[in-house]
Amino acid sequence: MKILKPISVAFIAALTLAGCGTTKTVTTTTSTAVKAVKESSIITATDSISPKTGKMTEAQIQAWPHMDVFTDSVPGMSLDKAYAFVKDKKGTTVIVGVIDSGIDIEHEDLKDVVWVNSNEIAGNNKDDDNNGYIDDVHGWNFLGGEKGKSVPEQLELTRIVKKWMPRFDSKNEADIAEADKADFKLFTELKSTIDKKLKTAKNTVEQYTSYKQAITMVNDTLSKILAGKEINLENINAAKFDDPALQQGKMILMQIVSSGSNADEASKGLDGAIKHFKNQLDSQYNINFKGRLTKDNPNDITDTNYGNHLVIGSIDDEMHGTHVSGIIAATRNNNIGMNGVAHNVKIMAIRAVPDGDEYDKDVALAIRYAVDNGAKVINMSFGKGHSPNAEWVFDAIKYAAEKDVLLVHAAGNSNENIDTAENFPNDSKDKLVEFADNVLTVGAMTRHFDDKLVASFSNFGKKNVDVFAPGLEIYSTVPKNEYVSIQGTSMAAPEVAGVAALVRSYYPKLTASQVKHIIMDSGIEFNNQVIKPGSKGEKVSFDTLSVSGRILNAYNALLLAEKMSKK
């Protein structure tokens, strides 16, 4: 499932958008070598830095992930300094595979950075390069479907319950054989979760629909009463209504306006929230929903002849992959929209993440596709809590490691400790020992260099999250040549993928494992306490929430890569 949290209006509980695990016990000498060379000049300590005070402008907030903590007191990745460092160096082109919901490859700020398969002839309905994929000019769509159509899906827990219903439905524990009791326990728990989620979704859709109707009605009424005057807090408060519905709408609208928003923005936010929960009702938690469009067997990894070349997806419903791609590589310095982290990058579009949970088979084959077609970095801003065919994905991760490809994965937005909570895909079967050393798992942080540094929704883990990166108020591309700010570990992962692409562009001889440890070991320190995600104000040391205990920094990563390349 896409790792992103939908942003809501002030009176709605935050619905944010959003992903995984890393260094435990690894057989490698990379980290030790890194530490030996970094101590001479790379500055990571920030004990003397005071957090930025005063209100930031909208433009500053949109640019905060690229700022420098030492000059701006904002924990960005020091991107200007990074580019100044490599301005006289020649970089090579790096292909970054983006496994996601689909990408608007026609976007004004992305069209020039889209990967083109030079061995494929567009539109001739032939597999010109004999890689098994017909007309895969810009990537591949493992979800199938018609051009511009979204692909709703069930969550994995719903698929598990549906599969096991013939075994366990309407049965008591006494009826279950000893060998089946573990499965029965899981089935019972998951079925209970589905029932609760469906009830909550139904109630929320009704509640938010009522809110929207009330807001619309009172706003229309006020527009007539005020006859062109501003609908501000003072004028709303002065209005008198006898109709209880209008009075309720007035109170809601006052909350919205006092938060700095307005009726139109609130209505859009409510539309998104209603759609979010309606999707839960209609597909994600719907046992009877049939979503697979590709006619393959998702439980047969050898059945690979499926999907199509239509990588854009629905530009109305699937903005996630476009936003992620812009963070990594939106064309820099073209006076359009925003700047991506990395230049010298081509984005390979791989559509494998539906509006629901991705299939393990699609993820495994998507990784292999990216690797086989030249990607050196792969961004994976998705995740789920159950993975019935996890071995297929594990094998694909190992395959990527053998081919020297770095995978960057979002840690997830459940404010959980994924040292204990299940989170897939990952690079360790027991959450202790990695089976590969080419996966970076990324938590999300804010622009506040104080106890609010860690995003409240972000997953964490001393053994299974590698590093933190900007993931709140992240401005980037969305379909139809537009740009928005959203949040999630889905946004933090591509910040890291962009830096990894920069390093691999200027220092192509460094291995995926070396780049991983360079990013972790060159990060900025924060030797203070932060509010623990998911807690009611509990504070913990920041360095207990990830393996590195550090914050992504592009400038330091390039400095360290330079030193490593000379060793």
Q: Which of 263, 284, 305 is the last residue of a domain?
A: 284
Helix, strand or coil, per DSSP, at residue 152: strand
Q: Is 160 inside a domain boundary? A: yes
Q: Which amino acid is at 432?
A: L
What pLDDT is attached to residue 2? 66
pLDDT (tens place) for every residue of the chain, 567 residues total: 765 544 443 344 333 333 333 333 333 334 443 443 344 478 898 888 888 988 999 999 999 999 999 999 999 999 999 999 999 999 999 999 999 999 999 999 999 999 999 999 999 999 999 999 999 999 999 999 998 889 999 999 999 999 999 999 999 999 999 999 999 999 999 999 999 999 999 999 999 999 999 999 999 999 999 888 888 889 888 988 888 889 888 899 999 998 888 889 999 889 989 999 999 999 999 999 999 999 999 999 999 999 999 999 888 888 999 999 999 999 999 999 999 999 999 999 999 999 999 999 999 999 999 999 999 999 999 999 999 999 999 999 999 999 999 999 999 999 999 999 999 999 999 999 999 999 999 999 999 999 999 999 999 999 999 999 999 999 999 999 999 999 999 999 999 999 999 999 999 999 999 999 999 999 999 999 999 999 999 999 999 999 999 999 999 999 999 999 997
What pLDDT is attached to residue 31? 45
Contact call for residues 444 and 472 (beta carbons, < 8 A): yes
Query: Do 396 and 475 lie in a common domain?
Result: yes
Q: How distant is the alpha carbon of residue 205 from its chain centre?
A: 25
Q: Is 25 inside a domain boundary? A: no
H runs (alpha helix) in 29-75: 30-38, 58-63, 69-72
Q: How many domains does the chain have?
A: 2
Residues serving a catalytic function are: 271, 320, 490
Q: Is 443 inside a domain boundary? A: yes
List residues bridging with 518 in a β-sheet: none
What pLDDT is attached to residue 318? 84
What pLDDT is attached to residue 412? 97
What CATH number is associated with residue 96? 3.40.50.200
CA atoms of 514 and 522, how far apart (whole Å) = 12
Q: Which two tokens stand for residue 361?
A: 């088979």
Query: Do 103 and 164 lie in a common domain?
Result: no
3-state secondary structure 378-411: EEECECECCCCCHHHHHHHHHHHHHCCCEEEEEC
What pLDDT is attached to residue 148? 83
Query: Do 63 and 98 lie in a common domain?
Result: yes
Q: Is 4 inside a domain boundary? A: no
Residue 34: domain span:
30-50+58-153+291-566
What pLDDT is attached to residue 515? 98
Query: Do 248 and 297 lie in a common domain?
Result: no
Query: Do 148 and 160 lie in a common domain?
Result: no
How many other C-beta atoms can be found within 10 angstroms of the C-beta atom of residue 435? Answer: 16
CA atoms of 375 and 368, how far apart (whole Å) = 10
Q: Which of 255, 284, 313 is the last residue of a domain?
A: 284
Q: Which two tokens stand for residue 11?
A: 């009176």
Q: Is 132 inside a domain boundary? A: yes
Q: Which of 261, 284, 307 is the last residue of a domain?
A: 284
Q: Is 6 inside a domain boundary? A: no
Contact call for residues 187 and 161 (beta carbons, < 8 A): yes
Q: Rounded to whole angstroms, what are the CA distances from 495 to 41, 318, 349, 518?
A: 24, 20, 17, 15
Give the chain's length.
567
Q: Is 2 inside a domain boundary? A: no
Query: Do 444 and 538 lie in a common domain?
Result: yes
Q: What predicted TM-score, i.e. pTM, was given to this entire model? A: 0.91
Beta pairing class for 482-486 and 377-380: unpaired
Query: Do 400 and 359 lie in a common domain?
Result: yes
Contact call for residues 558 and 515 (beta carbons, < 8 A): no
Q: Is 374 inside a domain boundary? A: yes
Residues 6+ apart with CB under 8 A from 544: 462
Query: Do 526 and 394 lie in a common domain?
Result: yes
CB burial of residue 290 (10 Å; 0-12, 13-18, 19+): exposed
CA atoms of 353 and 493, how far apart (whole Å) = 16
What pLDDT is attached to residue 3? 57
Helix, strand or coil, per DSSP, at residue 470: strand
Helix (H) / strand (E) containing 96? strand 94-100
H runs (alpha helix) in 54-93: 58-63, 69-72, 79-85
Query: Do 356 and 456 lie in a common domain?
Result: yes
Contact call for residues 102 and 475 (beta carbons, < 8 A): no
CA atoms of 154 and 281, how far apart (whole Å) = 10
Contact call for residues 379 and 493 (beta carbons, < 8 A): yes
What pLDDT is attached to residue 279? 95
Query: Do 276 and 295 lie in a common domain?
Result: no
Query: Do 361 and 262 lie in a common domain?
Result: no
Query: Do 149 and 187 lie in a common domain?
Result: no
Q: Rounded to whole angstroms, what are the CA distances from 423 to 4, 360, 444, 445, 543?
A: 15, 13, 16, 19, 21
